């Protein structure tokens, strides 16, 4: 079987680099084009020396339409607002697209436009775009033309919340998501705020009200609960921690009346049952909580939970790599589904080790 | 004026070392005895080479009663259960004592015994012991014989919550404290769990239900709200982050009916007003949130908050150094009050810089 | 083709874990047994949670002879002194062995015994054992029964020095190797010296005279120079740096009279020429120096050099991962050669990315 | 006694911030002006939030001549080339000056101009300027009008080498200095090269030939050996390590014929003897080597050495904080001498602790 051709537009950010890392080791995809406005003409491995001898493709500034014609799959790792203009050009070439921005993640146009403070040039694509969380939208991915790769925080919290939302086990108006991300989530840029001497030993909240992922999480929670956009509004607070990759969500919710016999054991059992066929969702043993370290560099996400009987509060925990399951490797998982490959292809054994 | 003599029992843990750091630079205290069971006979600076030439006192294993007789103040940095047996011996010598364990922090005996799974040998001291948060118990400290230095997490969350509890501005049954600590909080020990290769790049919750500080926070919140032990029970979740020193608390509460016109501005105003005379509580400008980095190595604590109008949730943030305001430097602040010194003596200019 | 069966004796150290990481992703090897004295009965993924779902093999305490009979290849990751007793037992079963200790690395018995302060129980194996640096001993590996995997520091410095030693381009009595290793080089153990709070922000020399790798480097340098053990004695100083994985060697040597026209350009040209067919030795472009970050998590090693005309000193630099090319991944490279596989199998695309 | 007024020109770099940290805690200096071209009008504590409540002085863009008139001491933390134009303006006002750039560190004009690729506008000041290493130029500092604060690497290596150079114990043509610095040495700037995600886990050489500090070290070594600029040329290689503050020098030299009975013990004895009256030079016990961690945040520098009898090589080690003894705190030490204060004033007890 010849390999599928995948191209990456905007290949020199951290998400782009992680896509490259995944695809060079993938048995069924080969990289066709890597584009970059800033670094066109340089080898990818000049931008990321870790790839010397592994991926020395020369970055181009080809037009998206040209890239689309040469590829079976194009992945866009572009800023929001840029994606919404680029993706339609790609789709016209007939190529399938996975987009990493927020531009196609929402079903509700008004929520998108309010959250991103942009007018969407192609709202007709919102309905068509498939939200690229394979665990919940696997069937739609198989035939999708356009996949909106989920945000990192939304992936983490939705995986943690889904079993409880789908089965009406939690009160929908009490969801609090306290989240922590590694510094790579801020992207690759020369910015004093992310300088080593400023970030090392730092830990702080940011975007404390109105972070864009709040509405993305809220809409998808609404859908998981069987409702419509706007039904659920979550409380969400992101923090920045001094490590490069990884993300932890600590979620506080109250059980609904349907949740009888709440305990660490029943919570764990619900997870075990719900995710028993999922390869990338690790339901940890009862009493063992997720750790960012265990999933960094991989497409795995860990979940578990406990019940605080003294306050009647359920605590759910999920850990993933913000660039892995939270971005690039999840896109590869989705690509596997889109192209009829076993979902774990090229991803199963990718772990960081010590 | 001759200096007050201070001795430290259990001087070789991280709290002990931070006490030494504070007292060697203190103009009005001089260190008399440093005791250690494990390192008696060695110089303190052999255990902590950073103190070579700064504090070369030889560690002793003197009896507490002997130490007490020679000192104006003894600070115990001992495990709980050991403190409760040692402190009474010290008090009998007439010396004043600041204890770092949980043994004298509670007013309610049953809560202590349940939380620490120990029978208290001297419950009569619980009533007398002053909880060493100078911001709230300043007057009592002036004449205190026994001061229970607060836990690190309790200090951080109580400073953040006090203005709202005291003025009945928040619902008392909705307090959620999501907390993050640096690794020094685990103490100085040879334990694989805290090895560099295991901790670096790790971020994880621990003690997710029933961490001892939960009951300490709850009791003190009850008192701040004008009630009695047991009135308030908070939800509390600590996490371990990959930095040596520092702590951040993110607190979720709902406004009470008494809190009119909730906003980031009013929350900030309440803080500004409440802490206007406090030297170590930094109320940040509206819109600027606390950062662990800004307080590491110091006795300062930063607070601020916002209101999420979409969910009706108040978010409060507080950052401190777990060894500083969260332990040793707060003890020095209390000592200053106990001995009639200006409260900021020896602490005001102690910051880490870059 | 059915896969070759590989077993690891002493699988729960950091080298063992990295071997597992390599072999689970290897297309032509499958892991048969993982043994551990301390953790027998537990799943490997309970010891290293990063491997949950990736390698859940239950650790055993099988006898080496039993392990040998079931395997095509056994890799021992044991302390020196233990290896020298275990390896002969394995060899008797007919299995091929790669050993990670220092026990079979020397050709000169006296040098081994002096360096390791041990009497060797099987000196007859020293002559047979092949030093597992594929770049220099590729032919011998093809038929080797016993391979002594090189030390991390020796690998790094020998790759850097070889082109100059083989061609008599440097003075043999002026070799100074200044080396830096990540903390994982100290192994997985509960030791206060390697605790997070002690190691973070630390940088220091250790083993400043007489580190065992000094004699290993010296003997192999002697061989590369066409001489015999004892001809060359290098100056070697290791340092410990606050990162988990990685190693840099900075080497100071003086050109011999045979080295005409010494310059950064000619040094680079010599490297380019010498390593032109090597897949894992990255000769960097002239003027670009190695960085630990670029090779961490991989089997790659980077080299380059410059000439300081003011002092007549050549500076050579090499960077590798101490657990990768410096230990476990190099063993897999050797295993590929031993079993007739393309040398890069399972290793080429293994990089850490961001 | 009223306090001496000190002003800092270029106060918002990392050296400036460390000067502020030192002077706010200094009993005999008070800060008059802090100037900054980029941040004029903002509070210093807005640029460095760690100083909130500690130093809230508003940054100004006053002319140097104005600053000079109001101050007893002005410290310039400016780029080279800028300092050489600014310092003479300051001196004309009669104020005493400590300069942090390389502009006044050399006695030999040609060496300066070659090293910095600049024509010096005021070469007449080179002779007058005192090299601000109190350990060697204490007497000259007492009356100095202009002090050239030494470079960080030169401080570290000169302290290590001085006892041997002064007593003719080492061969002058064999000095190799292998040096490692923390990231703060690169200054405070938005530069991708120093971003957290690029620096964390990185270790690499830089400026591998011709780093400017090479000539500074060489000239001062020549003087320490009793000779003239140009007599000695050292081999010097700096590296960048993933910590914020700190520096280690590992120095390789060969004993001269005058050095009888070379050993770790005699080397240690020479250090002990030479530095017996120095408060900031810690000569470690025989067998204990310097560690960056022990001196970070302080003005201390640690030294020790060993002898490798197998190769006839002496290894000397020195560790300091690149911003402390290597820059700002050393300037305060010099300022103490200049103004007749006890040399340790405000510096003795400044250590970082855990």
Token pair of D237, please? 């290689």
Residue C1: the pLDDT is: 66
A 10 A CB-CB count for D2 gives: 6
Residue-by-residue pLDDT tens, chain D, 354 positions: 699 999 999 999 999 999 999 999 999 999 999 999 999 999 999 999 999 999 999 999 999 999 999 999 999 999 999 999 999 999 999 999 999 999 999 999 999 999 999 999 999 999 999 999 999 999 999 999 999 999 999 999 999 999 999 999 999 999 999 999 999 999 999 999 999 999 999 999 999 999 999 999 999 999 999 999 999 999 999 999 999 999 999 999 999 999 999 999 999 999 999 999 999 999 999 999 999 999 999 999 999 999 999 999 999 999 999 999 999 999 999 999 999 999 999 999 999 998
Residue A221: the pLDDT is: 98
- Chain A residues closer than 8 Å to B205 by CB: 248, 250, 289-290, 315, 317
Mean of pLDDT values over A9-23 = 98
Residue C59: the pLDDT is: 98
Domains of chain A: 4-128 (3.40.50.720), 153-322 (3.30.360.10)
Question: Cα–Cα distance between D248 and D301 in angstroms, integer?
Answer: 10
Share of chain B above pLDDT 70, in %: 100
Q: What are the tens digits of pLDDT across the range B89-113?
A: 999 999 999 999 999 999 999 999 9
- C145 in contact with B, Cβ within 8 Å: no
B308-312: list long-range contacts, CB under 8 Å, 24+ apart. B308/A209, B308/A235, B310/A214, B310/A233, B311/A173, B311/A233, B311/A234, B311/A235, B312/B254, B312/B255
* E strand intervals along chain B: 4-9, 29-35, 73-76, 96-99, 130-131, 146-148, 176-181, 204-205, 235-240, 247-253, 281-283, 301-308, 313-320
Closest CA to C102 of C124, C141, C128, C129: C129
Q: How far is CA C352 from the centre of its chain?
A: 19
Question: Cα–Cα distance between C246 and C59 in angstroms, integer?
Answer: 28
Question: Cα–Cα distance between C94 and C92 in angstroms, integer?
Answer: 5
Question: Cα–Cα distance between C323 and C328 in angstroms, integer?
Answer: 6
H/E element holding A141? Answer: helix A134-141
Task: Tell whether the model's pLDDT for residue A1 goes beyond 80.
Answer: no
Cβ separation of D197 and A191 shorter than 8 Å? no
Residue D110: the pLDDT is: 98
Q: Which residue of C has its CA nearest to B195?
A: C195
**Number of separate helices (H) and strands (E) present in chain B:** 13, 13
Residue D247: the pLDDT is: 98
- D37 in contact with B, Cβ within 8 Å: no
pLDDT, mean over chain B: 97
- B353 in contact with A, Cβ within 8 Å: no
Q: What are the tens digits of pLDDT across the range A119-128?
A: 999 999 999 9
- D313 in contact with B, Cβ within 8 Å: no
Most C CBs within 10 A among D193, D194, D201, hence the mutation to make, goes to: D201
**What residues have CB less than 8 Å from D340, skipping those under 6 apart?**
D142
Residue-by-residue pLDDT tens, chain C, 354 positions: 699 999 999 999 999 999 999 999 999 999 999 999 999 999 999 999 999 999 999 999 999 999 999 999 999 999 999 999 999 999 999 999 999 999 999 999 999 999 999 999 999 999 999 999 999 999 999 999 999 999 999 999 999 999 999 999 999 999 999 999 999 999 999 999 999 999 999 999 999 999 999 999 999 999 999 999 999 999 999 999 999 999 999 999 999 999 999 999 999 999 999 999 999 999 999 999 999 999 999 999 999 999 999 999 999 999 999 999 999 999 999 999 999 999 999 999 999 998
Q: Mark whether B152 is an active-site residue.
A: yes
Touching D: B residues 38-67, CB under 8 Å: 48-54
Cβ separation of C204 and D289 shorter than 8 Å? yes
- C336 in contact with A, Cβ within 8 Å: no
How close is the nearest chain C Cα to the Cα of D245, in Å?
Answer: 8
pLDDT, mean over chain A: 97
Mean of pLDDT values over A43-70 = 97
Q: pLDDT category, A9, cuts 50, 70, 90? A: very high
Task: Tell whether the model's pLDDT for residue B251 goes beyond 90.
Answer: yes
For C292-303, give the DSSP string.
Answer: HHHHTTSS-EEE
Task: Tell whether the model's pLDDT for residue B226 goes beyond 80.
Answer: yes
Dihedrals phi, psi of B281, to nearest 5 degrees: -100, 110
The beta-carbon neighbor of B184 closest among D18, D298, D354 is D354
pLDDT, mean over chain D: 97
**ipTM exceeding the 0.85 mark:** yes
Q: Are B347 and B333 in contact (CB under 8 A)?
A: yes
Q: What are the tens digits of pLDDT across the range B75-94?
A: 999 999 999 999 999 999 99
How close is the nearest chain D Cα to the Cα of A192, in Å?
Answer: 4
Residue B173: the pLDDT is: 95
Q: pLDDT category, B1, cuts 50, 70, 90? A: low
A 10 A CB-CB count for A260 gives: 8
Q: Are A8 and A20 in contact (CB under 8 A)?
A: yes
Touching D: A residues 149-188, CB under 8 Å: 183-184, 188
Task: Tell whether the model's pLDDT for residue B284 goes beyond 80.
Answer: yes
Q: Which residues of C are catalytic?
A: 152
- Which pairing describes strands D313-320 and D301-308: parallel, antiparallel, or unpaired? antiparallel
CB pairs under 8 A between A and B: 142
Q: Which residue of D has its CA nearest to C291?
A: D204
Cβ separation of C190 and B191 shorter than 8 Å? yes
Closest CA to B310 of A237, A233, A265, C73: A233
Touching D: C residues 222-241, CB under 8 Å: 233-235, 237, 239, 241
- Chain D residues closer than 8 Å to C292 by CB: 201-204
**Helix, strand, coil % over all residues of chain B, rounded to 5:** 35, 20, 45
D102-105: list long-range contacts, CB under 8 Å, 24+ apart. D102/D151, D102/D212, D102/D216, D103/D148, D104/D129, D104/D146, D104/D148, D105/D129, D105/D131, D105/D148, D105/D150, D105/D151, D105/D154, D105/D216
Dihedrals phi, psi of D263, to nearest 5 degrees: -165, 165
Question: Cα–Cα distance between B164 and B173 in angstroms, integer?
Answer: 13
- Chain B residues closer than 8 Å to D54 by CB: 348-349, 351
Identified catalytic residue from A55, A152, A156, A221? A152
Cβ separation of C52 and A245 shorter than 8 Å? no
- Chain C residues closer than 8 Å to A353 by CB: 17-18, 20-21, 48, 50, 297, 323
- Which pairing describes strands A130-131 and A176-181: parallel, antiparallel, or unpaired? unpaired
Q: What are the tens digits of pLDDT across the range D317-331?
A: 999 999 999 999 999
- B289 in contact with D, Cβ within 8 Å: no
How close is the nearest chain D Cα to the Cα of C335, in Å?
Answer: 29
Mean of pLDDT values over A197-226 = 98
H/E element holding C198? Answer: helix C196-199
* Dihedral angle, C-alpha D17, D20, D25, D26, nearest 10 °: 130
Question: Cα–Cα distance between D74 and A91 in angstroms, integer?
Answer: 64
Mean of pLDDT values over A268-276 = 98
- B264 in contact with A, Cβ within 8 Å: yes
A 10 A CB-CB count for C122 gives: 16
The beta-carbon neighbor of B183 closest among C190, C196, C242 is C196
Question: Cα–Cα distance between C270 and C285 in angstroms, integer?
Answer: 12
Question: Cα–Cα distance between A304 and A151 in angstroms, integer?
Answer: 21
Q: Give the SS3 label for residue A203.
A: coil
Question: Cα–Cα distance between B263 and B269 in angstroms, integer?
Answer: 10
**What residues have CB less than 8 Å from B349, skipping those under 6 apart?**
D24, D25, D54
Token pair of C16, please? 């063992």
**What residues have CB less than 8 Å from D242, skipping those under 6 apart?**
A196, C241, C242, C243, D183, D199, D200, D201, D202, D203
């Amino acid at each position: 079987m010849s390999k599928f051709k995948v191209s990456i537009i905007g290949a020199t950010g951290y998400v782009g680099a992680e896509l490259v890392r995944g695809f060079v080791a993938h048995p069924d995809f080969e990289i066709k084009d890597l584009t970059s406005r800033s670094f066109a003409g340089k080898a990818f491995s000049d931008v990321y020396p870790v790839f010397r001898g592994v991926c020395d493709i020369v970055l181009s500034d080809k037009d998206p339409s040209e890239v689309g014609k040469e590829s079976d799959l194009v992945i866009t790792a572009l800023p929001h607002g840029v994606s919404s203009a680029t993706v339609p050009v790609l789709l016209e070439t007939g190529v399938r697209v996975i987009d990493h921005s927020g531009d196609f993640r929402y079903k509700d146009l008004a929520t998108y436009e309010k959250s991103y403070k942009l007018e969407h040039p192609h709202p007709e694509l919102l309905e068509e775009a498939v939200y690229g969380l394979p665990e919940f939208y696997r069937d739609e991915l198989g035939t999708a033309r356009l996949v909106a790769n989920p945000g990192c925080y939304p992936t983490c919290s939705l995986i943690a919340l889904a079993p409880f939302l789908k089965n009406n086990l939690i009160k929908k108006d009490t969801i609090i998501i306290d989240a922590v991300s590694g510094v790579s989530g801020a992207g690759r840029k020369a910015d004093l705020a992310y300088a080593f001497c400023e970030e090392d030993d730092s830990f702080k909240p940011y975007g404390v009200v109105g972070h864009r992922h709040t509405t993305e999480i809220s809409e998808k929670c609404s859908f998981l609960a069987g409702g419509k956009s706007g039904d659920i509004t979550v409380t969400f607070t992101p923090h920045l921690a001094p490590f490069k990759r990884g993300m932890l969500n600590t979620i506080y919710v109250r059980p609904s009346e349907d949740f009888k016999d709440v305990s660490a054991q029943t919570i764990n059992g619900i997870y075990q049952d719900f995710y028993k066929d999922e390869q990338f969702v690790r339901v940890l043993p009862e009493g063992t909580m997720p750790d960012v370290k265990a999933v960094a560099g991989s497409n795995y996400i860990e979940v578990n939970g406990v019940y605080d009987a003294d306050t009647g509060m359920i605590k759910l925990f999920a850990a993933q790599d913000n660039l892995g399951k939270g971005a690039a490797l999840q896109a590869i998982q989705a690509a596997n589904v889109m192209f009829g490959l076993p979902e774990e292809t090229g991803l199963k054994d990718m772990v960081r080790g010590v």
